Amino acid sequence: MKTFFFSRHMREKILLTMLLALVGLVWLGRVGRSARVFLLEWRANAAVLATQQQWLNNRAGIEAAAAKSIAHLDPARTFSSPRLLGELSTIADQVGVRNNTASEILGTEPTNQFSVNTVQVAVRNADLPSLLNFYGELDKRAPYIGLEQFSLTVNPANPSLLNAVMRVSSVEINR
Amino acid sequence: MSVLPITKPSASTRKRAVLLADHAFFIRVVPLAEGTLPAEVPGQVELALEGLTPFSVAQLCYGYFAAPGANRVLVYAAYRRKFTVEDAAAWAEADVVLPAFAACLGLAPDHPRALLVAGADFITAIGWDGRTAVPAIVRTRAVEADAPADTRAVVEAELTAQLKDFPTPVKVAAPAETLSRIGDRGLEFPVGDLVSGFTSTQFDAIDVRDKADLAARRRDRARDLFLWRAFLGSAAAIGVAVLLQLGLQGGQLWLKSQGMRAAAQAPAARKIETEMNLANRIEELSTRRLMPIRMLEIVNEKRPRTIQFLRTATKGLYDLEIEGQTNTTPDVFNYQAALKDLPACERVVLGQTTDRGGITHFTLTVTFKPEALRPAPPS
């Protein structure tokens, strides 16, 4: 190769060198960009795997903690989504706001040992004592039924009436 | 101006050395003034040649052998027209052209020594006094190539007699062109059992070709070498790029397998994560329940009668967002200050406040201390 190179004319040597240098630079540039992308993907993937591994390593502890968290609950008193809807309807009936109440199942998050069901309840045009009663009845059912979010709005047309929107969740033990 | 121009050889026909017959040259040892710098030696040599020969330097093929610290220089020169155009063409192909005896000068013994260098048609005597690497005496005689042995013996005896101040001369065959090589010390020639070597500095000095042409050749060599190194560097860069490319492709395969592994264990990990989150929520249902009515009771204690709540909403377990209105603007700030003073409140932040038609609308976010909202233990 050296003999071939040295036997070329000067302009051929310069052209050959420039051509090779250009190819080398372009190729190295492309490979460099690919390497950077690869590095970013590798880091992201490593982070995901590390997080997953952490969860998997702590599986036994988390399952034990979950079991402990429901140990004091009576499975017979827990509520599935339909039962929760029914219970909320019963409470609304008890406090006299059934006609003003609308409920909607927002979802269920299941695990091996239990599920958590979430329902949104809206009580329209109710007076404050009725709402306090509603809240009081809900509170009595804790920790089987819990309040996660609560908003209260004054009815613009009649400030003595209130609109309440509540996000309620219930525990359902899978046994 | 060179009488015999040196044409550029092709690399395939280039040979290392051309050794010329010694008898074509006249050889002199020229003393150097004390303290002569190495850069001044070429000028001193040219001056000496002007004085020693009837020819101008441009009409001579000459070379010299100098050594650092030596107080003399060995000069050899030949009339340029002694050599033909064909000779010059052959020289152009060589890395170095010099008389055969000069190939032995690199021996540079550190003690007195004498050599009889026998070529095909010459015999040359070289004597070193051991004080410097430059010989003290060099004498050469031409002999017929087919001269009988006794004729050669007479010439050798004559030359040996001239080396009477030196140890008994060792007879060696003149170095062969084909045995020259680039070794550890630079250009090397085998001389008997010894090796004569020349450094890169001495390399051009011992060459008898035109010095300007040699300088041009040196520049060409340097430029070619630079281009060759750039060529090699570029080739190496491509090699590195190829290796990186292959490595990346391998890496992508590995990354894909890692991605598949992550996808495979994602549902299990997500399930465990969900289980923990839900367990926490159940724990909260028992111990850290949302207490919106208690929050309202606390904030209502200090509410001025001029302030009306329009909307309240919980944010998490301990935050309450209040949207209200009043026709007495300062009451908003008084109310904020009063809430801040309550032991149950950790922080009170006044958000967007607007005044329109004498009615001020405001937003307050109240953060309660957890202990103020702790529920009674489950029955």
**A69-103 per-position pLDDT tens digit:** 777 778 888 888 899 999 999 999 999 998 889 99
- Closest alpha carbon to B62 in B50, B74, B75, B81: B75
Closest partner residue to B240 (CB to CB) among A21, A28, A150 is A28
- A10-57 helix and A59-69 helix, angle to the nearest 10 degrees: 30
Q: Check residue B377 and give its pLDDT.
A: 58
Closest partner residue to A116 (CB to CB) among B265, B272, B281 is B281
Q: Check residue B180 and give its pLDDT.
A: 78
Q: Check residue B283 and give its pLDDT.
A: 77
B-chain residues within 8 Å CB-CB of A159?
Answer: 308
* Residues B235, A139: C-beta atoms closer than 8 Å: no
* Residues A49, B310: C-beta atoms closer than 8 Å: no
Assign 3-state DSSP to chain B and report helix, strand, coil percentages, each to 5.
45, 30, 25
For residue B326, what are the CA distances in angstroms to A33, B20, B335?
61, 117, 11
Q: Does the pTM exceed 0.90?
A: no
Residue B309 to residue B96: CA distance in whole angstroms: 105
* Residues A151, B245: C-beta atoms closer than 8 Å: no
Query: By the CB < 8 Å criterion, does A40 face chain B?
Result: no
Q: Which residue of A has its CA nearest to B9?
A: A7
Q: How far is CA B329 from the centre of its chain?
A: 75
Q: Check residue A171 and give its pLDDT.
A: 84
Touching B: A residues 132-151, CB under 8 Å:
132, 135, 139, 142-144, 146-151
- B30 CB contacts (<8 Å, ≥6 apart)? B44, B45, B48, B72, B73, B74, B75
- A34 CB contacts (<8 Å, ≥6 apart)? B245, B248
Q: Check residue B154 and give its pLDDT.
A: 93
* Residues A143, B282: C-beta atoms closer than 8 Å: yes
Q: How far is B221 from chain A (nearest CA, A)?
A: 9
- A67 CB contacts (<8 Å, ≥6 apart)? A113
Q: Check residue B228 and give its pLDDT.
A: 92
Checking ipTM against 0.90, whether it exceeds it is no
Q: How far is A1 from chain B (nearest CA, A)?
A: 10
What SS3 class is residue A40? Answer: helix
B-chain residues within 8 Å CB-CB of A36?
Answer: none
Burial B304-326 (b: 16+ CB within 10 A, else e): eebbebbebbbeeebbbbbbbbb
Residue B188 to residue B167: CA distance in whole angstroms: 25
Given a contact cutoff of 8 angstroms between Cβ atoms, the answer to whether B302 and B335 are in contact is: yes
Query: By the CB < 8 Å criterion, does A106 face chain B?
Result: no
pLDDT tens string, chain B, 379 residues long: the values are 333 333 343 443 344 788 999 999 999 999 998 888 888 999 999 999 999 888 888 899 999 999 888 899 999 999 988 888 888 888 877 888 999 999 999 888 889 999 999 998 999 999 999 889 999 999 999 998 888 889 999 999 999 999 988 999 999 998 887 777 776 667 788 888 888 988 877 888 999 988 888 888 888 888 988 999 999 999 999 999 999 999 999 999 999 999 999 999 999 998 888 888 878 877 777 777 889 999 999 999 999 999 999 999 999 889 999 999 999 999 999 999 999 999 999 999 999 899 998 899 999 999 999 888 876 655 4
Q: Check residue B376 and give its pLDDT.
A: 61
pLDDT tens digit string along A35-68? Answer: 999 999 999 999 999 999 999 999 899 888 888 8
B-chain residues within 8 Å CB-CB of A65?
Answer: 276, 279
B-chain residues within 8 Å CB-CB of A147?
Answer: 289-290, 292
* Residues A146, B284: C-beta atoms closer than 8 Å: yes
- A128-140 helix and A81-95 helix, angle to the nearest 10 degrees: 140
